[in-house]
Homo-oligomer: A and B are copies of this chain.
Amino acid sequence: MQWTKVLGLGLGAAALLGLGIILGHFAIPKKSNSPAPSISAPQDLDLEILETVMGQLDAHRIRENLRELSREPHLASSPRDEDLVQLLLQRWKDPESGLDSAEAFTYEVLLSFPSQEQPNVVDIVGPTGDIIHSCHRTEENVTGEQGGADVIQPHAAYAPSGTPQAVNAAKHGVAGVLVYTDPADINDGLSSPSETFPNSWYLPPSGVERGSYYKYFGDPLTPYLPATPSSFRLDLANVSGFPPIPTQPIGFQDARDLLCNLNGTLAPATWQGALGCHYRLGPGFRPDGNFSADSQVNVSVYNLLELRNSSNVLGIIHGAVEPDRYVLYGNHRDSWVHGAVDPSSGTAVLLELSRVLGTLLKKGTWRPRRSIVFASWGAEEFGLIGSTEFTEEFFNKLQERTVAYINVDIAVFANATLRVQGTPPVQSVVFSATKEIRSPGPGDLSIYDNWIRYFNRSSPVYGLVPSLGSLGAGSDYAPFIHFLGISSMDIAYTYDQSKTSARIYPTYHTAFDTFDYVDKFLDPGFSSHQAVARTAGSIILRLSDSFFLPLKVSDYSETLRSFLQAAQQDLGALLEQHSISLGPLVTAVEKFEAEAAALGQRISTLQKGSPDPLQVRMLNDQLMLLERSFLNPRAFPEERYYSHVLWAARTGSVATFPGLSNACSRAMDTASGSEAWAEVQRQLSIVVTALEGAAATLRPVADL
């Protein structure tokens, strides 16, 4: 899981205490009216196979996968990362439980590492240059796993090297940045060693959150081009998106030493945290503190940029009937340190899923209607690099043929509930799958019924339903949804937000994210891992085996309607002042709604008969390709890869179409007739054109 996604995730709080080992079990009701297989019936979802897969997804095996995957740190491009490439290839080529074929695809990408010779340093120095205090350069070796040579020193990847003297430099603008994670944000306020790992799931005082500080995603030197050895590479001077100034992360124990001794006015209330002092803004240290007032903070960053080989591993099960339709399932493989949670919990699930499906395949019991592609991405932590390079290399092939992309990165943040992010067409298949799987918690709830207790919304169409989050750019789904316009989803188990306010699981991106951490605190018994595997497995089978694709395009209508209402309520008056009418947008949304509903009707009617496979293929293509019609590579050319006019990053405050929202927020303070207001009108036309174009793709195919 990549750094940038931690902003605005809105995760639920985890049920942390009293979690026993819960052995969930699945329940797919057998339908008495399921048609007997016949030679003439088209291949469709087979509920018996589905049941078999649910039954064979084994919590213990996921645990053993995780133990192996997280045994050693496996930073992108490290020898252990390469070992795991081989492990994946071996599993996926296994004659008993492997896939039809598997292959590693290697790119040469620009990564950023701290120097091994010269560690990054944060010191407080006195006026004569003597070091008064040094921040820790490594995390404390609490469990014996934090001390190895392959535990990368915490650093801010892609931050430039340099030695700013922060206190003085502040007078002239910020010269360097120190980043830390406050116990208030990650530890529910707790900070003492006795309250933290290995005594609880909370982050120890020395823990430091690593991360990539690159603004975009993909290999920084080869935007829009696959990072093959011969590819054109930008000159470093022309790369945009790297932090401008040296940056270094530190643990909260070091942050306390710095922050609690600062001088100056009190920081705003929302800036205060749980370090046990009042946070001040500086500049300089207070005279009555641990450091003399004329002390300075010296930060020395020695990060190095290096071209490294990083591999994706791809494996495929060939579709029996429609091999040119791909259900794509992926997770990254690289971690910052041991990465038991991030990403190995997801990879452990991936391996168990491929084992169960591969075994059925090799036994000759089953072959899906459509192809299933499994992916293990490289170098995600540095900025979704492996997945992005993959989409750049195979842009057309993927865009033409991919039914959906399913991402399981961190499979389990916590044990309380399912959490799904995705675009509207995937909602129905997620609901169908989760209604049929028993939740791992106590009681006799389905995953769906448990989920709705934690995340829900009132749908004008369905009433109370679990609410899906929207996809940002926090993991490898980003290039698929934003760059290729492929319907995507991200699946995990997560917190009870009423029980913790942690921004994310506390050891995120630290050397404390280890197997024992998962085994003892996050998911003892691995029943939540199993629940995620079953959910993902059921979704994969439904997408790859169903005669009619289980993508419900009419579920986009609710999103469009809510965006439209926000535009009308929060921007309508303003737009009217500037003579901009929302009328065409209203018409476009209505047209989309009508066409999507009519297509749904035609599908329902057809499902009652025995339609021709070619006829169903045509309808399925309409469903599969709808998401593509929201792409416009010319809508936001300055936002690299972001081409989806509904899900591009929104900086404006109004929760409406992002192009409109952002353009309005920029035009707000300009006069009518300004270029900024023209851009509002242009963005409005872009979204109207996309919606009208989308509606046109949903009409009967022989209509003009």
Contact = CB atoms under 8 A, between A and B. Distances in A.
What interface size band does chain A fall in? 35 or more
Contacts of A633: 633-634
Interface in A572-614: 581, 583-584, 613-614
Contacts of A703: 101
A231 B683 CA distance: 10
Interface stretch (A26-34, A188-196, A313-321, A455-463): A313-321
A373 B101 CA distance: 42
Given A693-B395, A697-B396, A701-B324, A224 B319 contact: no
A685 interface: yes
Contacts of A694: 396
Nearest to A235: B678
A7 interface: no
A322 interface: yes
B393 A692 contact: yes
Interface string A642-680: 000000000000000000000000000000000000100
Interface stretch (A348-356, A436-444, A617-625): A617-625
A283 interface: no
Given A230-B583, A232-B685, A629 B323 contact: no
Contact of A618 (B322, B394, B581, B697): B322
B224 A401 contact: no
A371 to B, nearest CB: 5
Interface string A316-343: 1011011110000000000000000000
Contacts of A319: 702
Contacts of A697: 396-397, 400
Interface string A268-300: 000000000000000000000000000000000
A682 interface: yes
Contact of A704 (B316, B324, B688, B696): B316
A689 B226 contact: yes
A686 interface: yes
Contacts of A393: 689, 692-693, 696
A567 interface: no
A398 to B, nearest CB: 9
Nearest to A100: B702
Contacts of A173: none
A226 B693 CA distance: 10
Contact of A685 (B230, B324, B584): B230
A701 B623 CA distance: 20
A553 to B, nearest CB: 13
Most chain B CB inside 10 Å of its own CB: which residue of A100, A222, A583, A634? A634
A684 interface: yes
B702 A316 contact: yes
12 contacts: A226-B692, A228-B584, A230-B583, A315-B704, A319-B702, A324-B701, A371-B702, A373-B704, A394-B696, A396-B628, A396-B694, A400-B628
